[in-house]
Amino acid sequence: MKIWRILSIWVCLSLVTGLCAGCAPAGDIQTDGKIVIVATAFPQYDFARRIAGDRAEVTLLLKPGMEAHSYEPSPKDIIRVAKCDLFLNVGGESETWLDAVLETTANPNRKMVAAMDCVEVLKEETVEGMQSREHHHHDHDEEEEAEALSDSDHVHEDEEEEYDEHVWTSPMNAIKIVNAINAALCDIDPDNAAYYCENTDAYVAELIALDNEFRETVTGAKRNVLIFGDRFPLLYFVREYGLDYYAAFPGCAAETEPSAATVAFLIDTVKREQVPVVFYIELSNHKVADAIAECTGTKTAQFNTCHNISYDDFQAGETYLSLMRANIGVLKEALR
């Protein structure tokens, strides 16, 4: 699957290379004198909107409601990246298309901020009960299965360690990313530096207030464990606030159907810990969380990771701050 994705991206690049060869410098394509910013994920898009205000045109490549791990840039997206003044990306393995695009669309005037470069990154981890290997439902004989597992193990040994990409789930990390975006904007557009810095200071104050609300929620809570019947892209969040967790899959897992053993473990854990809420993340079918809740008599709730946003929420004007504040309410229920 990854090979076909890379090939399709190279096809797109070959189609737009001729177009980009004659691209004007980024400063020549600004709309009404505004800075042109392109972001691959919603948090950086939202941060840039708050900092740049009306001095920039900000574009989000990942369409609302789209699964981030299946995104492939269109020719139009590649041209946007080629011509922008500031390119904001995550910097992780999910953006497998990025190196090829940047190599082919060299632009000496373009600055880039990768969110994972702004913080201390954490390795993906597999906690007790978590589904750690993709669970297949095809029929194989024992010899074929053993050979497949052996090949998989050799591939795994050669792979580099994976890191959790969802760095913004900690508001304190969000502050670091915001400050990096501000610094880049001030460098690109020094005439408006005071404006960007003023907006940044105001936004950072709101992020600090958000962080304080999370700390108050966790302090003195009855329990400190969260259960996710879903992927778990919130490692930075739980580390920031000293919480424990159990989940069906790691944050960047492609699987959607856990093994019976994983589901049974989560059901037993909910009962043992008397956890009142089983979480799922946005854009999920939350079938696993529903099944666990049905077996334990608990409720389910969405916990926003903010990697992307639904179309309805985008149209309603939801932001990183509003989505994270919504998490405070469901967190109180889970820890009470």
> Where in the sequence is the domain holding 31, given as residue range(s)?
2-121+170-207
Q: What is the pLDDT of residue 23?
A: 42
Q: Is the pLDDT of residue 161 over 80?
A: no
Rama region for 269: left / alpha / beta (φ>0; ψ in -120 to 50; rest) = alpha
pLDDT band of residue 254 (cuts 50, 70, 90) is: low
Please, which residues have CB within 8 angstroms of residue 8's CB and are 6 or more apart in sequence? Answer: 72
Q: What is the pLDDT of residue 257?
A: 83
pLDDT band of residue 2 (cuts 50, 70, 90) is: very low
Q: Are 265 and 242 in contact (CB under 8 A)?
A: no
Q: Of 135-144, 158-167, 189-198, which gets the smallest average pLDDT? A: 135-144
Instruction: Tell me if 14 is assigned to some domain.
Output: yes
Instruction: Tell me if 279 is assigned to some domain.
Output: no
Instruction: Tell me if 182 is assigned to some domain.
Output: yes
Q: Are 334 and 278 in contact (CB under 8 A)?
A: no
Q: How far is CA 211 from CA 167, 169, 204, 215, 217, in A?
A: 14, 11, 10, 6, 10
Instruction: Tell me if 259 is assigned to some domain.
Output: no
- Reported as a single tens digit per residue, the pLDDT across 113-160 is 999 999 999 999 999 999 865 433 333 344 433 443 334 343 344 456
Instruction: Tell me if 263 is assigned to some domain.
Output: no
pLDDT band of residue 105 (cuts 50, 70, 90) is: confident
How many domains does one find in the chain?
1
Q: Of 19-28, 163-172, 200-209, 243-252, which gets the smallest average pLDDT? A: 19-28
Return the closest-CA partner of residue 229 out of 176, 164, 277.
277
Instruction: Tell me if 193 is assigned to some domain.
Output: yes
Please, which residues have CB within 8 angstroms of residue 178's CB and are 6 or more apart in sequence? Answer: 47, 50, 51, 200, 203, 204, 207
Instruction: Tell me if 75 is assigned to some domain.
Output: yes
> How many Cα atoms within 13 Å fall on the side-chain side of residue 242?
9
pLDDT band of residue 100 (cuts 50, 70, 90) is: confident
Number of C-beta neighbours around residue 285 at 10 A: 10
Q: What is the pLDDT of residue 131?
A: 82
Segment 254-268 shows an average pLDDT of: 89
Instruction: Tell me if 153 is assigned to some domain.
Output: no
Q: 156 by DSSP, 3-state: which?
A: helix
Q: What is the CATH number of the domain that holds 39?
A: 3.40.50.1980
